[in-house]
Amino acid sequence: MFGTYEKFTLVRAPYARRGSVIYLYEDFEKHGLLRLGMQKSGDMISGTDFLFDIALTKNGASVPYTYFADAGSLRLTSGDAYVEFAITDRQHVRIRGNGAGARLTLISTNPPIPERTPGFARALRGIYSMPKGGAEADFGKYGRVFINALAGAFHYDAPYNENGYYNSLTYNFLPDVQTGRFDAALHEYDDGEIYPYGHYEPFDQLVSDNRTDFESFKRGYRSVAKGYEETANYAMWTVWSHRAAPRSFIKSPIIFFHHQWAVVAASWQQSYNAMPMQNNLKEAWRLICTMFEYQDERTGRLPGMLAYTGVAAGLQPPFQGFALEFLLRNVGEDIIPQEDCARMFPKFAKWVNYWTTYRSADLGAAAPRPQPAVQPSSDVTEIQSPHEAGWDDASNFKDGFPASDPNTMAFLVLLMECTARLARGAGLRKEATDWMDRAQKLTKIIIDDYWDGEKFVTKVKGKPVDAMSLACYQPIILGKRLPRKIINKVAERLMAPGEWLTEIGLASESMRSPLVTFGISFVCGRVVAPQNMIISVGLQAAGKQKEAEEIARRYCDQVKKEGIILGFAPYDHFPLTGEPAPDQPRPFATDGWPWTSWCANSFMTMASSVLA
């Protein structure tokens, strides 16, 4: 899959495995240098103290290597000699070598601290050889690492200076003199017992098991359109490798956004991940429900993001209805067992009511003062920041907040309908009818009050925002609930040349807009995976299959060419002015750099369900 001579390297894509916090990647500057890191702390790769340079050694000296990785393992090769890493889902990594040794050297990407000079090993708080063999090191917030040498020799070097700080840390794995081989396990864990410890399967068995696990995971997806099979493999691998095991604050498996950059599991992205998993509906449904495990009992709010270190602030769009409605439309209505309907109905209802209470336009939602005794006269909402709509720098929010946003309300409509479905599934007929009534009323409001004849408009203090954002067409997700003339107009506008449609998909801002930027930006010009997925799925639902396919194909072709990246600049210049666009970013947390599960799931939905 990945490698020195493969289509994609590990410069942008981290190498990881389902259920592990360890990742490996290739350094951007020092080509050919692999590193090992850990995402548990939430550190970005540009500011972490826990990274190890990986050297392949012969007779103790570092030698150049090439590498190849698939789901089973990552192998570094130098001539006939190799060193191989296989990650488990049991908090350890196996490392073996044949004809070569390996050296792992701790580094930091944070600025130096003078009194800790040279400071590369600043994460290290201590290391010692354990009574039963092996060495345990403490890395503070990164937890502990235990190295267990199973074959060959292992030693570490950790000198410290007069100030009590370690100058460096190197782990050295040396092949056995007679066999030429070494084998070791690197365990990572928090305070407490090493888990597991004492039993290791044969290395080849682990590699085989990893591949089997990935193959099993892939069976949860439907096949993709012809020509996208290889890209789909990369996409599914990206999701699989970002799937975290329960640990610390994380109660059940969840899919992280990034390993190296934005190291969080974003709330609404869990439902994105559910959408293409149409051959494993149990898992898809679980993913839609997973954030409800953290639902605030008082308000009904779902957290914005989760990390190993806790629940982060923020609020993300009520996307679950869109995802569930899509699944139901694609696979049939009876996928949710009655007991699940009964269990989830009140949670969904509470989540909707969170929005219509705490973001109610009628109650002055801008103020944090819900009045439980007062019922809003409508379900019109106002959001308080662009993140609540999902689009951080979309131009329809240029007039500020609170903003009444038809996109968020369209998500709410679908969530209300799904709440009605759950009520019906639980045998609650009246509740089902009531929820459908609310959905229909809100739909009518969106059509009557937020469609200006050309686009959907966001309003601030009742005044439409003059914007050229792709988000102005996102309520197409309401599909055939919208009048035909609106559907036609949306399709017409989106497919018109020179505005949103580019060779690589829909741009997030019209190319005729003076606000377009391709720099450090998310949705103010770039062609971005989730927007292309949402719009194409929406057009499909509205009966515009041809247009949906056209958009999806353009985006998927770009991913096929460039990799599982969230956002692409469609041009090297700004079409409005002809001025050259800034260079594409170097390694950074922008959406134009790293491989991410958010692109992977959006690609999979388009490639398996939108494209014929």
Pick from 60, 114, 131, 332: which binds other proteins (CB under 8 A)?
131
Please identify, using beta-carbon distances, which residue of 68 and 160 lies nearer to other proteins. Answer: 160
Tell me the per-residue interface mask from 157 to 196 with other proteins, x by CB under 8 A, - otherwise. ---x-xxxx-------------------------------
594 counts as binding other proteins under rule CB under 8 A:
no
Indicate left, alpha or beta for 126 from its phi (over 0: left) and psi (-120 to 50: alpha): left
Pick from 89, 138, 209, 293: which binds other proteins (CB under 8 A)?
138
Indicate left, alpha or beta for 227 from its phi (over 0: left) and psi (-120 to 50: alpha): left
Please identify, using beta-carbon distances, which residue of 263 and 477 lies nearer to other proteins. Answer: 263
Q: How far is the CB of 115 from other proteins (least distance, A)?
A: 11
DSSP result, 328-383: HHHH-STTS-HHHHHHHHHHHHHHHHHHHHHTBTTTTTTSS---TTSPPSS--B-B
DSSP result, 456-497: B--EETTEEP---BGGGGGGGGGGGGS-HHHHHHHHHHHHSB
CA atoms within 13 A of residue 155's CA, in its CB half-sphere = 5
Please identify, using beta-carbon distances, which residue of 42 and 99 lies nearer to other proteins. Answer: 42
Please tell me the count of residues contacting other proteins according to CB under 8 A.
Answer: 59
Instruction: Return d(Cα 401, Cα 316) in angstroms, integer.
Output: 16
- E-strand ranges in 190-250 read 243-244
290-293 long-range contacts (CB < 8 A, ≥24 apart) are 290/252, 290/253, 290/254, 291/267, 291/320, 292/344, 292/347, 292/348, 292/351, 293/251, 293/252
360 counts as binding other proteins under rule CB under 8 A:
no
DSSP result, 305-317: EEETTEEEP----
Please identify, using beta-carbon distances, which residue of 309 and 330 lies nearer to other proteins. Answer: 309
Q: Which of the residues 81 through 110 are near other proteins (CB under 8 A)?
A: none
151 counts as binding other proteins under rule CB under 8 A:
no
Sign of torsion over alpha carbons 466, 468, 472, 476: positive
Query: Which region, judged by CB under 8 A, interacts with other proteins, from 81-89, 256-264, 426-434, 443-451?
Result: 256-264
Tell me the per-residue interface mask from 294 to 323 with other proteins, x by CB under 8 A, - otherwise. --x--x-x---x-x-xxxxxxx--------
579 counts as binding other proteins under rule CB under 8 A:
no
Q: How far is the CB of 572 from other proteins (least distance, A)?
A: 20
Pick from 474, 521, 596, 605: which binds other proteins (CB under 8 A)?
521
Please identify, using beta-carbon distances, which residue of 119 and 386 lies nearer to other proteins. Answer: 386
76 near 56, Cβ under 8 Å? yes
126 counts as binding other proteins under rule CB under 8 A:
yes
List of residues 6+ apart from 581 with CB closer than 8 A? 518, 519, 569, 571, 572, 573, 574
Tell me the per-residue interface mask from 191 to 220 with other proteins, x by CB under 8 A, - otherwise. ------------------------------
Q: Which of the residues 17 through 46 are near other proteins (CB under 8 A)?
A: 42-44
Query: Which region, judged by CB under 8 A, interacts with other proteins, from 178-186, 259-267, 559-567, 597-605?
Result: 259-267
Q: Which two tokens stand for residue 36?
A: 């090992």
510 counts as binding other proteins under rule CB under 8 A:
no
DSSP secondary structure letter of residue 246: S
134 near 148, Cβ under 8 Å? yes
Residues in the chain: 612
- Percent helix, percent strand, percent coil in the chain, to nearest 5: 35, 20, 45
Cα end-to-end distance, the chain, whole Å = 26
Pick from 31, 128, 562, 580: which binds other proteins (CB under 8 A)?
128
Q: How far is the CB of 495 from other proteins (least distance, A)?
A: 26
Pick from 400, 498, 514, 580: which binds other proteins (CB under 8 A)?
400
Residues that bind other proteins (CB under 8 A): 42-44, 47, 125-131, 136, 138, 160, 162-165, 262-264, 296, 299, 301, 305, 307, 309-315, 354, 358, 364, 366-370, 384-386, 392-393, 395, 397-402, 515, 517, 520-521, 524, 589
